[in-house]
Amino acid sequence: MTLMQWFIFFLALQVIHFLGTWKLYKKAGRQAWEALVPIYNAVILMKIIGRPWWWTILLFIPIVNLIMFPVIWVETARSFGKNTTTDTVLVIVTLGFYLYYLNYVAHVTYKTERSLVPKSASGEWVSSILFAVVAATIVHTYVMQPFTIPTGSLERTLLIGDFLFVSKFHYGARTPMTTVSFPMVHDTIPGIGVKSYLDKPQLPYFRLPGFQDVKRSDIVVFSWPVDTVNRFYGMDDGKYYHKPIDKKSNYVKRAVGLPGDSLKVVDGKVFVNNEPLELPDRAQLQYSYQGTSKGGGFNAKNLYDQYKITNLRFYNATQFATQAITDENAERFKNHPNVASLEKLIATPDQKDPSIFPKGNASLGNRDQIASVYIPKKGATTPISTENLPLYKRLIEIYEGEEMGEPREISVNGNQVLLNGEPLSEYTFKQDYYWMMGDNRHNSEDSRFWGFVPENHIVGKPVFIWFSWDSNGKGILEKIRWERLFTTVGGNGKPVSYFLYFIIALVGYFVISKVIKNKKAKS
């Protein structure tokens, strides 16, 4: 929906509210016109039902308002004496239109001294759970979101089994675009495996102000731009469908290229604006290696403890390969008494991989050799021709067209590129774009395979590892990576665990709370 359509929808809601409540406003001692004035009518309604004025704010927060609207309907009915279970069910199943019956037909009286305390333990529980969900939804959407590392694409910087807190406020929280969604879940409802949202209506993209921009080499969580395949709903039928931006699968990679940069990959190394990419000292790049042994095997625990190798595989009696090992660990592994030879697997420039962006004959190279590519920047203009069209076609049609509410179709007539039937010789970008890659260079599906990440797909910045679980550990205590608990994701130097400080603070909190409670009891 466009902004104008949303404005009309908003005005329609005001009219519906006025028609269904103006007599109730009068019975509560207010003026009928107060039910018509946008926002003001909500503030007055909060006074009528005896609730704080700031509940009005909750009515304008997407997803949260889906919880609050039924609450307001029920509270309004109860303010006029309709507080039975039947009344509550009727208010909810009629989507609030039961208030029309109260407004025009029923003989109701305003309860000026209505108690706001639930009359039963179950009512108290429902009230507590409801507002816990509201608070959690606000935190999850606008402040901090939990995230789990599911793959090894960023090892050994972030490990499979790391549980993160992702900050929404560093880059500015992205307000929900999907208006009707099940709270506290992403794209599916756990347990029953059905879609958790309605595709329409959609709000326009908007991002709250942040206190920093995405910096080069930042680790970033983002909505996977090309997430439109059915297999992510457990249906591997190869069909494609539209998925709202904020309901696409979340990915985590490193931002190696920023808007306006020129980027290339040479022998597995990233160069930005013809300079080698500078990485923080915590970054640990990994590559695939192959080698031969001197006839014997390897101890799996020793490989992990000494060289952080988790996936060494033998092809025959002596030849082996590993998909993820740092160059430093590889140099040490060469000195293993059972290693006869070891070499890094780097594709040569003459090998063109059709799976590399933008696919097929237009491929930029292979996973280790990517031809120089310009990363679009908002406001920048670039020539468009049949030669570079594969780089920017999806960007223009989908990211800046369909997903922005502006349907577009690009076609080619001879050597002429057409946009909606009109000649297109240059294009000015409407938003910034990024190039994302994993630190595990040979085990990461990233921008090398699907291209640019639009700014409106940025979710947040991982800031904190609160738990880490190693599935290779034998016992429960061995599976917990104690040294990673309560460590920061960014920064320089070896990560420092703040877990002990957390335990001390937690014990201190309970001790102080107990002392205060005892003092109050004595007094």
- Hey, which residues are catalytic here? 153, 253
Cis bond upstream, residue 354 (ω within 30): no
Give bridge partners of residue 419 from the DSSP assignment.
410, 422
Q: Which stretches of 207-345 are DSSP H helices?
A: 300-307, 327-333
For residue 62, the 8-state DSSP code is T
Interatomic CA distance for residues 60 and 226, integer angstroms: 30
Interatomic CA distance for residues 66 and 256, integer angstroms: 39
Q: Return the structure tokens found at 162.
A: 């790391």
CB-based contact 489:463 (threshold 8 Å): yes
Q: How far is CA 516 from CA 290, 476, 503, 513, 521, in A?
A: 64, 37, 20, 5, 9
CB-based contact 87:77 (threshold 8 Å): yes
Quickly count: other Cβ atoms within 10 Å of residue 251's Cβ: 24
CB-side neighbour CA atoms (13 Å) of 380: 14
Give bridge partners of residue 370 from the DSSP assignment.
265, 365
Question: What SS3 state is found at 255?
Answer: strand
Interatomic CA distance for residues 105 and 137, integer angstroms: 37
Interatomic CA distance for residues 44 and 70, integer angstroms: 17
Q: How remote is the C-alpha of 162 from its chain's centroid?
A: 16
Q: Return the structure tokens found at 470.
A: 């190693």
| Torsion sign, CA atoms 510, 513, 519, 523 | negative
With residues binned 3-state (H G I as helix, E B as strand, rest as coil), the percentages for the chain, rounded to 5, are 35, 20, 45
Angle at 248 between CA 245 and CA 254, to 5 degrees: 95
Interatomic CA distance for residues 286 and 439, integer angstroms: 6
For residue 233, the 8-state DSSP code is G
Amino acid at site 437? M
Q: Return the structure tokens found at 488.
A: 């920061």
